[in-house]
């Protein structure tokens, strides 16, 4: 696991992080621009030093200011993938991959090359590669150093949409096949939902929340901080069935279900969906004669005033669903914690 307890002054911003992160899967470092995301992984990677505190990776001390301990980057066994690939232009792809590769990793070369689909690129120079190809090579180079952890600083940020779509399946394969903890810096909801199992949310250098993605996203503490366009619910579901006539799939949500446009996934496959709070309306009685397919019985847990709107926290089985309504609607329907009602869901997006 990665233990963090550090403070670093960044101009007018104070980066202050106390967290314990798991030693497996992808943990997204998520937040708005200027939140301190890149600064945090630079401290972890040894590119900068904290003013105070300590960092431990799997019990190994990387830095401890109280004892004057500081391990240089090359001894931390941490791979780093930057926004720009930073390949050596005078080396072919093969040379970039093997640069700094310890002898013990030679047996992994073919495995990593196959994982990232870069065998056809091995004899090419970086200036002949697309942005997505360069990033795949950069990821391969980082993996072949034999790291205990991988840091990825917005690896898709410099790519256009087609290149992002090209690289995303390889990142998903990395999540599935490589048993290595990854800290993944992003401010993209799409990347967060498709890749991360855990999330650490930073706001102005401070940790707002940390933990499994679904739990963090359900937290009431985040609602006032999140921009309106990010106010949503993230729900784990399972494919229940595919409609034999209509191009629709049913997803189980506790003992209820949702209908969505057909997903290319087998029955019983786990998925993650996102529902915008603005796409959930509330009714006291089961609506009839409606074109909306998805109507769920839910219990009100909490009502939060956020700006000029009311965020309603609902329990649907064991899951949390958020709805955004007006104060007028809240007062007219007399919505309060503990009451049961019906949530109408107008739109659902599949996150993978």
pLDDT of residue 199: 93
Mean pLDDT of the chain: 88
Q: Which pLDDT band holds residue 48 (cuts at 50, 70, 90)?
A: very high
246 in a domain, yes or no?
A: no
CATH number of the domain that residue 280 is part of: 2.40.50.100
Q: What is the DSSP letter of 105?
A: G
Domain range for 12:
2-218
CATH number for the domain harbouring residue 203? 3.40.50.300
- With respect to residue 258, please indicate whether it lies within any of the assigned structural domains: no
Residues 207 and 278 reside in one and the same domain? no
Three-class SS string for 245-269? CCCEEEEEECCEEEEEECCCCCCCC
Degrees to nearest 5, angle at CA 282 with 243 and 236: 50
Mean local confidence (pLDDT), 275-304: 90
Under 8 Å CB-to-CB from 312, ≥6 apart: which residues? 282, 300, 302, 303, 304, 322, 323, 324, 325, 330, 335
* 86 and 169 together in one domain: yes
Does any domain span residue 213? yes
Phi then psi for residue 66, to 5 deg, are: -65, -30
Tokens of residue 279, six digits: 């796409």
Q: Is residue 290, in this structure, part of any structural domain at all?
A: yes
pLDDT classification of 352: cutoffs 50, 70, 90: low
Average pLDDT over residues 324-332: 94
52 and 172 co-located in one domain: yes
Widest Cα–Cα separation across the chain: 71
Instruction: Note whether 94 and 156 are same-domain residues.
Output: yes
- pLDDT for 350 beyond 80: no
Residues 299 and 189 both lie in one domain = no
The residue among 33 and 337 whose pLDDT is bigger is 337
60 and 196 share a domain? Answer: yes
Kindly state whether residues 140 and 32 are assigned to the same domain. Answer: yes
The stretch 19-38 carries a mean pLDDT of 89
- C-alpha pair distances (Å), 115 with each of 28, 86, 112, 306: 22, 21, 5, 45
Report pLDDT digits (tens) over 143-154.
888 889 999 998
> What is the number of structural domains in the chain?
2
Would you say residue 248 lies in a domain?
A: no
Q: Is residue 113 part of a domain?
A: yes
Identify whether residues 195 and 300 lie together within a single domain: no
pTM metric for this prediction? 0.82
- Answer with the one of 190, 218, 246 that is the final residue of a domain: 218
Confidence check: pLDDT of 227 > 80: no
CB 181 within 8 A of CB 25: yes
């Amino acid at each position: 696991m990665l233990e963090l307890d550090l403070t670093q002054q960044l101009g007018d911003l104070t980066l202050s992080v106390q967290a314990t992160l798991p030693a497996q899967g992808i943990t997204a470092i998520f937040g708005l621009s200027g939140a301190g995301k890149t600064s945090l992984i630079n401290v972890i990677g040894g590119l900068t030093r904290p003013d105070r505190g300590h960092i431990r990776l799997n019990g190994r001390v990387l830095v401890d200011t109280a004892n004057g301990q500081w391990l240089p980057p090359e001894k931390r066994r941490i791979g780093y993938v930057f926004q720009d690939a930073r390949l050596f232009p005078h080396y072919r792809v093969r040379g970039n991959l093997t640069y700094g590769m310890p002898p013990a990793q030679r047996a992994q070369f073919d495995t990593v090359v196959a994982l990232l689909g870069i065998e056809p690129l091995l004899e090419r120079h970086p200036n002949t590669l697309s942005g997505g190809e360069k990033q795949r090579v950069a990821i391969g180079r980082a993996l072949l150093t034999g790291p205990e952890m991988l840091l990825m600083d917005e690896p898709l940020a410099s790519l256009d949409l087609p290149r992002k779509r090209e690289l995303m399946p390889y990142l998903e394969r990395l999540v599935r096949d490589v048993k290595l903890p990854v800290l993944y810096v992003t401010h993209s909801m799409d990347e967060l939902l498709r890749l991360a199992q855990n999330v650490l949310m930073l706001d102005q250098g401070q940790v707002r929340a940390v933990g499994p993605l679904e739990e963090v996203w359900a937290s009431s503490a985040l609602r006032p901080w999140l921009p309106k366009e990010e106010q949503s619910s993230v729900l784990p579901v399972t494919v229940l069935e595919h409609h034999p006539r209509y191009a629709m799939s049913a997803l189980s949500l506790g003992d209820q279900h949702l209908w969505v446009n057909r997903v290319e996934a087998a029955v019983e496959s786990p998925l993650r969906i996102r529902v915008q709070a603005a796409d959930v309306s509330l009714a006291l009685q089961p609506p009839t004669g409606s074109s909306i397919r998805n109507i769920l019985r839910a219990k009100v847990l909490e009502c939060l005033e956020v700006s000029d709107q009311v965020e309603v926290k609902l329990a649907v089985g064991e899951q949390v669903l958020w709805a955004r309504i007006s104060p007028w609607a809240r007062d007219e329907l007399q919505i309060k914690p503990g009451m049961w009602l019906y949530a109408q869901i107008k739109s659902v997006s599949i996150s993978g």
